[in-house]
């Protein structure tokens, strides 16, 4: 958009107001520089790592220089010129730490009709730093979970083996019941007393007590 401007002056002679001729024309061109496109690969960086910013200008107003700022205009971080025929640039901050966190913006400078004009600021990008030690609690938590799973697995295995062993055991001393009404039984008499030399009188007394010292067992034929 262009606007023509010119001027003249007026003066008074003997009570008459006179005006000069118009000056030469001055053309004022109004150029709207759109703000640059600004982005970052990752807004969370590891302590001591690198952060790469990307800044690009519109194609209709290619930049001749790019400026990277931190916290608005408080700190100029870097200035770069793009390669011929390009309209973007990258800024890399190496070995980042907490002193370099905050909001970053970029702007560009363009040549418009022989004059260098500067755009407004881009949208800010906030950078934070993740300390390397912050990974330790996560690793510890995973280790604890794995240990608990192993303990539960071993406990389950022990219980399974114990149950299998108890289920397969059979009673050792099982005596089958005998139905004496339907089977023929033969009894054997076993005298548990020690064999001794006895006289005839003693032998008669032993016969009377034989029932107390006799076991009966059934034998199926």
SS3 content of the chain, % helix, strand, coil (to 5): 25, 35, 40
Region 157-184: mean pLDDT is 58
pLDDT digits (tens, 9 = 90+) for 119-130: 999 999 999 988
Give the pLDDT confidence score for residue 151 in this predicted structure.
86
- Residues of the chain above pLDDT 90, percent: 29
Hey, what are 193's tokens?
Answer: 């007393």
How do beta strands 125-130 and 75-80 pair?
unpaired
Q: How confident is the model at residue 143 (pLDDT cuts 50, 70, 90)?
A: low
Sorted by where each begins, the domain ranges of the chain are: 33-133
User: Which residues are within 8 A (CB) of 181 and not within 5 positions of it... i.e. 6 or more apart?
Assistant: none
The CATH class of 33-133 is mainly beta
Mean pLDDT across the chain, nearest whole number? Answer: 76
Region 67-82: mean pLDDT is 89
Give the pLDDT confidence score for residue 146 in this predicted structure.
72
Q: How confident is the model at residue 154 (pLDDT cuts 50, 70, 90)?
A: confident
CB contact burial 134-158 (16+ within 10 A = b; e otherwise): eeeeeeeeeeeeeeeeeeeeeeeee
Please answer whether residues 35 and 43 qualify as being in contact, where contact means their C-beta atoms are separated by less than 8 angstroms.
no
Helix spans in the chain (H)? 136-168, 200-208
Question: Which of 11-25, 63-77, 186-200 has the lowest average pLDDT?
Answer: 186-200
Q: How far apart are CA 88 and CA 83, in angstroms?
A: 8
Higher pLDDT, 107 or 215: 107
Q: How far apart are CA 47 and CA 49, in angstroms?
A: 6
User: Which residues are within 8 A (CB) of 150 and not within 5 positions of it... i.e. 6 or more apart?
Assistant: none
Q: How far apart are CA 196 and CA 58, in angstroms?
A: 129
């Amino acid at each position: 958009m262009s606007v023509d401007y010119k001027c003249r002056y007026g003066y008074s002679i003997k009570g008459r107001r006179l005006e000069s001729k118009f000056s030469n024309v001055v053309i004022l061109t109004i150029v709207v520089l759109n703000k640059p496109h600004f982005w970052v690969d990752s807004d969370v960086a590891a302590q001591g790592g690198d952060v790469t910013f990307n800044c690009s200008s519109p194609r209709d107003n290619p930049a001749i220089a790019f400026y990277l700022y931190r916290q608005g205009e408080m700190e100029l971080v870097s200035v770069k010129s793009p390669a011929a025929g390009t309209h973007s640039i990258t800024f890399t901050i190496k070995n980042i730490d907490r002193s370099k966190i905050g909001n970053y913006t970029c702007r560009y400078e363009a040549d418009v009709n022989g004059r260098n004009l500067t755009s407004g600021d881009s949208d800010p990008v906030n950078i934070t730093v993740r300390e390397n030690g912050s990974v330790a609690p996560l690793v510890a938590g995973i280790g604890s979970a794995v240990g608990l799973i192993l303990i539960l697995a071993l406990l389950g295995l022990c219980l399974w083996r114990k149950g299998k062993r108890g289920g397969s055991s059979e009673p050792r001393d099982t005596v089958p019941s005998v139905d004496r009404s339907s089977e023929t039984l033969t009894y054997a008499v076993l005298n548990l007393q020690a064999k001794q030399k006895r006289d005839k009188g003693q032998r008669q007394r032993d016969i009377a007590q034989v029932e107390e010292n006799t076991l009966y067992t059934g034998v199926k034929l």
